């Protein structure tokens, strides 16, 4: 792809970069998205599997679903998009990666500056008191296989943000702050429909940043972006990385 002179100039000048990723990035590693046709929420009721009410009603069902997702995520491999993002952080004085994904593929690709807005399926904590539960365990066919909190005896739950819950305050606060003060913002593989994370590219625009959207599909944010690229992230991000290396490596 041939990039415009304006974009190349932005790369030259940018010192502070923020990236926001969504399920589309992991889809290229074989993981289902949530909102697309054929995604998770077209097959399952989200409030049964991803809400406090659903967990109270049937914690075993919720855990069996998350355990299956955890196995699938463990078997998936980071794709060229993940790898390109991981390498990009080496070329800017300030670089922040905020992700809505819970699969830890960014970590496995080598990204060190990752902030998880929706938590991760690879950690757990007590549903009642919030105490982290670091031990490994496997869910079986009975409630007895769900671990209990050593402090209050409440059920342990996945450390993901469910419907009706707030995003982690520190991660979200940092995301807003860095989005408002960055030079370059990339929103990648996200539907732009899940708030408050979907507000971050708008914050970047208000702060004067150049905002690029990378998504095979048009989103509600497309018309507001400075540049919208209709390609898969695994295809275009290595090209963007190549431009960055040519400019930044003297």
End-to-end CA distance of the chain: 23
pLDDT value for 33: 62
3-state secondary structure of 195: coil
Eight-class DSSP state of 4: P
Q: Which two tokens stand for residue 195?
A: 């708030």
Q: What share of the chain is helix, strand, coil (3-state, %, to 5)?
A: 45, 20, 40
Last residue of a domain, one of 104, 138, 160: 160
User: Residue 214 — φ and ψ, nearest 5°?
Assistant: -120, 110
CB 188 within 8 A of CB 236: no
Residues 129 and 206 in one domain: no
Determine how many CB atoms are found less than 10 A away from the CB of residue 230. 12
State the total domains in the chain: 2
pLDDT value for 1: 66
Cis? peptide before 153, omega within 30° of 0: no
Asked whether the whole model's pTM tops 0.85, one would answer yes
Residues 156 and 228 in one domain: no
CB 112 within 8 A of CB 89: yes
Domain enclosing residue 145, as ranges: 32-75+124-160
In 58-182, where does DSSP find H-type helix? 59-75, 80-88, 105-109, 169-181
pLDDT value for 171: 95
Scan for tokens 């889809």, then name that residue: 27
How far apart, in whole angstroms, are the C-alpha atoms of residue 69 and residue 142? 19
Residues 179 and 221 in one domain: yes
The CATH number of the domain holding residue 196 is 3.40.50.1220
Residues 154 and 244 in one domain: no
Backbone conformation region of residue 104, classed left if phi is above 0, alpha if psi is from -120 to 50, else beta: left
Scan for tokens 């929420």, then name that residue: 41
pLDDT value for 45: 80
Residues 42 and 3 in one domain: no
- H helix or E strand, kind and range, residue 55: helix 52-57
Q: Which two tokens stand for residue 144?
A: 């007895």
pLDDT along the chain (250 residues), means of 10: 84 96 93 56 72 95 92 96 97 97 97 96 98 96 97 98 93 97 96 86 96 93 94 96 89
The CATH number of the domain holding residue 142 is 3.30.1600.10
Question: What are the catalytic residues?
Answer: 118
User: Residue 15 — φ and ψ, nearest 5°?
Assistant: -115, -25
Residues 55 and 173 in one domain: no
Burial category of 6 from C-beta neighbours within 10 Å (exposed 0-12, middle 13-18, buried 19 and up) = exposed
pLDDT value for 4: 81
């Amino acid at each position: 792809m041939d990039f415009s002179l304006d974009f190349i100039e932005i790369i030259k000048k940018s010192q502070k970069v923020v990236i926001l990723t969504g399920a589309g990035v992991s889809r290229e590693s074989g993981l289902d998205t949530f909102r697309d046709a054929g995604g998770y929420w077209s097959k399952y009721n989200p409030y049964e599997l991803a809400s406090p009410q659903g967990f109270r009603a049937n914690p075993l069902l919720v855990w069996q679903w998350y355990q299956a997702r955890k196995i699938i995520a463990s078997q998936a491999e980071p794709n060229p998009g993940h790898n390109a993002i991981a390498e990009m952080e080496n070329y800017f004085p300030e670089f922040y990666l905020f992700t809505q994904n819970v699969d830890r593929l960014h970590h496995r690709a080598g990204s060190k500056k990752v902030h998880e807005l929706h938590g991760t399926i690879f950690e757990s904590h007590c549903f009642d008191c919030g105490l982290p539960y670091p031990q490994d365990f496997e869910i079986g066919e009975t409630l007895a296989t769900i671990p209990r909190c050593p402090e209050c005896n409440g059920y342990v739950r996945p450390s993901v943000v469910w419907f009706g819950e707030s995003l982690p305050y520190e991660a979200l606060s940092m995301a807003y702050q860095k989005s408002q003060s960055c030079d370059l913002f990339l929103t990648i593989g996200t539907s732009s429909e899940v708030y408050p994370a979907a507000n971050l590219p708008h914050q970047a625009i208000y702060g004067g940043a150049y905002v690029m959207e990378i998504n095979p599909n048009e989103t509600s944010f497309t018309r507001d972006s400075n540049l919208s690229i209709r390609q898969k992230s695994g295809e275009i991000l290595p090209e963007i990385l190549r431009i960055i290396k040519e400019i930044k490596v003297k």
